[in-house]
Structure 1
Amino acid sequence: MRSCLPRYYWPGFVEMTIDEDMTCNNHEEADTKIVHHVCKLDTYAKKNVLLKTSDTDVLIIMLGNMDHLQSDELNIFMEYGTGNSKRYINVTKLHMELGPSLCTSLPGFHALTGCDYNPSFFQKGKIRPYKILIKNKYYQKALADLGVAHITGWRDEILPILEEFVCEIYGYKNISNINAARFQKLCVTYKAGTEDEPFKKTLKNCDPSTLPPGKAELQQHLLRTQYITSIWRNAYLRFPSSLTPNRNGWTLNEDALDYSLVRRRLYVATSIRRCCS
């Protein structure tokens, strides 16, 4: 068991102590450990705290946990980048400008739209989804609540809202079912000449990867999103999450975790010919 060893610098010597309250062995990544330590700072800290990192995940996680600082007098800064690209971000000021609702949704948003542990939606990036998010408190609350859904038991109520969000990311604001959005996208590309035309038309400039994910695929993506968010959103806790990766978007195969894949037979319904004509 590794302990946290705070260092205090005094004129002429350095004092090092063991602080069990700052120890967080249940945090696997340094990203959440950094944020956990900041949230524990009280009498140990001066008014200004500087985080040195080249990982934007730390900024997202820090913004999502700003409401859990033990001292309102702390000013959090981040030194980001190296060399000529180095810059300083006033995290406290940024949190005030964005507001608590948006900030608490950012860990879930980052996990949903693509991070080191979860793939992104093809060619969707983060700019368009973020523009949608900042205008919609409904989505903000759902993403924030996702981080504690393993405690509240609200997951089944939250996931349909996130499905609706993904539909809007793909440009379907009035569709809340991802399979319906996927079908609509197909109909835009595939135009049957007659009702009886076989579904064998050669498509040009059609990239299947631009289609929205299917319902089952999105379900696994959202389960991974919940698992990641439960850790990031609760970085201020010594035990951030009770969830495990297995059966939450991943499958444990011996000693390795693999993405849970959706394997099923595909059928072409006659309704495709009718609806696309």
Structure 2
Amino acid sequence: MDENQDLCYEYSVTNNKVTRIINNELLCPDHEEADTKIAFVFCQQNEDSTITVRISDTDIVVIMLANMEHLQARVEVWMDLGVGNARRYIDVSALYKKLGSKVSKTLPALHAFTGCDFNPALYRRGKKKPLQLLMNSEIFQEAFLDLGSKEHNVQDSFNIIQSFTCHLYGLKKLDDVNQARIVIFNRTYKVKDKSQPFSLSVRNYDACNLPPCESELLQQVLRTRFIACLWCNAQNAKITDLLPTDYGWKIVDGKYKMIWFAGDQLPKAYEDVVITPDILEDTPESDTQSEDEIEPEEEDDSTDEDDD
């Protein structure tokens, strides 16, 4: 693709000479990212072939898995990733057969939700545990699958995404992220000796360990939906009709900026932050997982720059 995204050049070898033509059937000016353009070109191949793509991050693997069912010919897809001793080849076709169509189509939404180039990651949650939760739950699979569909309303699956987020933070019986924040915070600052309410010995606490509040999570899910729709429809020349400003972004000085939350940043009244005992005692300690028990994930590749 050239810089103005208007032309697509096709190269071939004829009589030991390399020839170049402009293939108008492979034009996809609606695609802004090289990753989705690659998947689009793959899906337009009409001859059996084996194709290897040199990549710099995992986005294209996720996008390609979600679009494998749209291949028009028998195409074996390989990805060449990494450098030096870490360089490896990924057999995307074999991986697709192992995961199956349904799980493969949930991956764009899961990858976008847990952190990618366009959406912030959930601190210390990584990629492995979210994938394990998804693989073990048909309900979670359906929710993330819906996020990538064209006609889905985010509110229809938002409660399930809240439950998924609570699971990520070790709260298996909760489905409300606001309550999850209270439970996790209370583990550190709860007064255990009621006869000495002012003798609490507290340690430093990093608020990054808390899950996002409901308002923040909604914006995260809106962005996830927009990104997942782009990636799941990469096989189409016109990739989406959705507007970023309807899905977690706003325009500031001609650039897109994330909307982190909607509504007031601080409570308006004292009564809004008073915690009642029944809320604190809803979730027993046995149903929660402490931060010490949660192994930090290795840094993933989601923040690498895209392969142009």
Length-normalised TM-score, structure 1: 0.90
Check the 8 A contact 2:163/2:175 in 1, yes or no: yes
Aligned pairs for 1:223-262 within 5 A: 223-262=222-261
Q: 1:208 to 1:56 in 2, by over 3 A?
A: same
Q: Which residue identity is paired with 1:127?
A: K
| Distance (Å, rounded) in 1 between the aligned partners of 2:46 and 2:195 | 71
Q: 1:274 to 1:98 in 2, by over 3 A?
A: closer
Q: 1:274 to 1:168 in 2, by over 3 A?
A: closer
How much does 1:119 deviate?
0.9
How much does 1:142 deviate?
1.6
Q: Which of 45, 54, 60 does residue 52 from structure 1 map onto?
A: 54
Q: Which residue identity is paired with 1:109?
A: L
Check the 8 A contact 2:222/2:248 in 1, yes or no: yes
Between the aligned residues of both structures, percent identity stands at 32
- The residue number in structure 1 matching 2:119 is 118
How much does 1:152 deviate?
1.6
Check the 8 A contact 1:101/1:137 in 2, yes or no: no
How much does 1:154 deviate?
3.2
How much does 1:67 deviate?
1.1
- The residue number in structure 1 matching 2:190 is 191
Length-normalised TM-score, structure 2: 0.81
How much does 1:185 deviate?
1.2
- The residue number in structure 1 matching 2:165 is 166
| Distance (Å, rounded) in 2 between the aligned partners of 1:81 and 1:11 | 35
Q: Which moved more, 1:237-246 or 1:103-112?
A: 237-246
Check the 8 A contact 1:197/1:273 in 2, yes or no: no
How much does 1:128 deviate?
1.2
C-alpha distance after superposition, 1:187-214 (max 9, x if no partner): 222213549968x967313222111111
How much does 1:29 deviate?
0.7
How much does 1:273 deviate?
5.8
| Distance (Å, rounded) in 2 between the aligned partners of 1:30 and 1:162 | 29
| Distance (Å, rounded) in 2 between the aligned partners of 1:237 and 1:178 | 36
Check the 8 A contact 2:76/2:93 in 1, yes or no: yes
- The residue number in structure 2 matching 1:67 is 69
How much does 1:14 deviate?
2.6
CA RMSD of the aligned region, Å?
A: 2.3
Q: Which has the higher contact order (CA 8 A, sep 6+)?
A: 2
SS in 2 for 1:6: strand
Aligned pairs for 1:1-277 within 5 A: 2-43=6-47, 46-71=48-73, 73-148=74-149, 151-192=150-191, 193-194=193-194, 203-262=202-261, 263-266=264-267, 267=270, 269-272=273-276, 275-276=279-280
C-alpha distance after superposition, 1:106-140 (max 9, x if no partner): 11111000111111111111111111111112212
Check the 8 A contact 1:195/1:273 in 2, yes or no: no
Q: Which residue identity is paired with 1:9?
A: V
**Structure 2 alignment gaps of length 5 or more:** 282-308
| Distance (Å, rounded) in 2 between the aligned partners of 1:85 and 1:163 | 36
SS in 1 for 2:251: strand
Q: Which residue identity is paired with 2:259?
A: S
**Structure 1 alignment gaps of length 5 or more:** none
SS in 2 for 1:205: coil
